[in-house]
A = this chain, B = another copy of it.
Amino acid sequence: MQKIKIFDSTLRDGAQAEGISFSAEDKLAVVQYLDNFGVDYIEGGNPASNPKDCEFFERAKQLELKTSKLVAFTSTHKVGGDPSKDMSLNAVLQAGTEYVSVFGKSWDIHVTEILNATLEQNLDIIQSTINYLTKKGKKVFFDAEHYFDGYKANPEYALKTLEVAKNAGAVALVLCDTNGATFPFETEETVKRVVELFGDLEIGIHTHNDIGLAVANAISAVRSGATHVQGTCGGFGERCGNMDLCTLIPNLQIKLGYSCVPQENIELLTNTALSIAEAANIGLDPRTPYVGASAFAHKGGMHSDAVIKQPTSYEHIPPEMVGNSRRVLMSEVAGRSAIMLALQAVDPHIDRNSEKTKKVLSKLKELEHGGYEFEGAEASLEVLISKQLGKFRPHFELGKFNVVIHEPTEDKISCVASVKIRVDGEDEMTAAEGEGPVNALDIAIRRALGVFYPEIKKMSLSDYKVRVLGSKDGTASKVRVLITSTNGKKSWRTVGVSADIIEASWLALADSVEYFLSAVR
């Protein structure tokens, strides 16, 4: 099986999508998901563009990755500048990655009209940027921006930029369809020519989806000899997005016989996609191929009947192969194998067909129907399973709480929460002020619990996300709150669902504290 190198740009090009703003914390989590899945390269960001990316690369130095190599991104240095004094290049060197992506212009009118440089000057800065980084020991990928439009307009010049990059020491030449409007038959011809001329290097393809053909173009490039493919998980990216690796990888590996990630990891695909979408705080379109919630959902009566009789009748692969699951609408069935894994984590000897298993499955089904989603909330799932298997020993009970919010205020303190909790039959009532109701409630609960469990001070909340489920009910819609907590070494995620955002937050907070007290401290 021919190996195709997978280059993930979710954290760089994906972050240019409308509505996405990754924190350094989010980025570190995404790197772990991608490394577990087994992609070859992870582009972490542009360290010169903002302090968050700097912080990310600094903290990423502590990561021990199994499969993936981190890549820092930069552009060619300024026309007439000195690479050794260039702020962006130095930021990239400080990022400390073995690999660097350098993007440069390959479309002549972009050189003259956007960069305001001569064609020769552009070749010079490609040369000196790559040469400088190579001499510093970096492995450099050259991203030829607008390559396809450039090749149409002035093929000699476009090819010349690649030749210069190669001679300067680039280890891969990446052809970018930056405006995303190339057709597969054009991609084929263009890539074949590059492979003929520069096939001794790794030839990469980077496509965008502006005319709905990003995946088709990447496949066309691979069939024409490209061996390195760039995209993002979920297809996030500027405008209509980048090529979706979660569609491309199974297409190449399951259908066309190429090797992209370790074969046993293909079933992690859906979970990887959902976890990354969660980190991005963007809901994955349910219709997303392979990994969407509707990808194997059958609605038409004829379809549903046939698919139960003979799955291949309306399914191109068994959904479990990519970690997804069949849904016959109106009778939802959760991904049983995934749930079995979680069950076995709590009770290693549990039987697939036992009454206990059935009880957990039916509880999960009920909660999922009510808007719960345990994909990005492993700690809540573990607490839930422990409860259902009778292995849960609660560390506290909530008596009651009351929160009052008032505006205007003289200071920032607009809320007061009072709570009553019970531990081993002993009540503790306390109150706290806070900047907002969740904060006031959080402080009050910790204060009350701290009387019994002083170690609670070690845990803190590191992220808090809210998604409205459905839109028809406006502000009365159910909301799903996802909380990420940390003790500085380990992070865990919990979920709560309610029409009341305070109650949903409370549920997620309670799971987080229980998980900390039972599994982490």
A residues whose Cβ falls under 8 Å from a Cβ of B: 16-19, 21, 23, 25, 49-50, 110, 113-114, 178-181, 183-185, 209-213, 215-216, 219-220, 223, 235, 238-241, 244, 247-248, 250-251, 255-256, 281, 283, 285-290, 292-300, 303, 306, 309-310, 312-317, 329, 331-333, 373, 375-376, 398, 400-408, 412, 414-415, 434-439, 441-443, 460-468, 470-472, 474-477, 479, 498-503, 506
Contacts and interface: CB of A to CB of B under 8 A. Distances in A.
Nearest to A213: B216
A462 B114 CA distance: 39
Contacts of A407: 398, 400-402, 502-503, 506
A378 B404 CA distance: 32
A294 B240 contact: yes
**Max chain B C-beta neighbours (<10 A), residue from A50, A244, A312, A472:** A312
Contact of A414 (B287, B479, B503): B503
Q: 8 tightest CB-CB pairs across the interface, nearest first?
A: A436-B500, A216-B216, A181-B316, A435-B499, A466-B466, A212-B247, A442-B475, A439-B475
Nearest to A460: B474
B471 A475 contact: no
B184 A443 contact: no
A228 B169 CA distance: 50
Contact of A465 (B251, B306, B468): B468
A238 B298 contact: yes
A310 B474 contact: no
Contact of A239 (B179, B295, B477): B295
Given A255-B183, A407-B400, A18 B442 contact: no
Given A213-B216, A401-B406, A475-B434, A465 B18 contact: no
A400 B408 CA distance: 6
A207 to B, nearest CB: 12
A406 B414 contact: no
Given A19-B376, A181-B255, A283-B471, 17 more contacts: A17-B287, A17-B299, A18-B375, A113-B309, A114-B313, A211-B250, A239-B295, A239-B296, A240-B288, A240-B295, A400-B408, A402-B406, A436-B479, A439-B476, A439-B499, A461-B474, A463-B468
A400 B409 CA distance: 9
Total identical chains: 2
Contacts of A442: 474-475
A175 to B, nearest CB: 17
Contacts of A239: 287, 294-298, 314
Nearest to A408: B400
A262 to B, nearest CB: 21
Contacts of A405: 401-405, 437, 500, 502
Contacts of A402: 404-407
Contacts of A296: 239
A284 to B, nearest CB: 10
A437 B309 contact: no
Contacts of A464: 466, 468, 475, 477, 479
B18 A238 contact: no
A248 B376 CA distance: 29
A26 to B, nearest CB: 9
A500 B247 contact: no
Contacts of A332: 21, 50
A474 B462 contact: yes
Contact of A404 (B179, B292, B297, B404): B404
A473 to B, nearest CB: 8
26 contacts: A17-B299, A18-B293, A18-B297, A18-B299, A18-B329, A18-B375, A21-B331, A49-B333, A110-B313, A209-B289, A212-B251, A235-B287, A281-B467, A285-B285, A402-B407, A405-B405, A405-B437, A414-B502, A434-B476, A436-B500, A437-B437, A437-B501, A438-B475, A439-B500, A443-B475, A462-B471
Contacts of A213: 215-216, 219, 251
Contact of A18 (B19, B179, B376, B461): B376
A16 B287 CA distance: 12
A396 B299 CA distance: 47
A393 to B, nearest CB: 22
A501 B403 CA distance: 13
B470 A251 contact: no
A20 B210 CA distance: 26
A143 B426 CA distance: 63
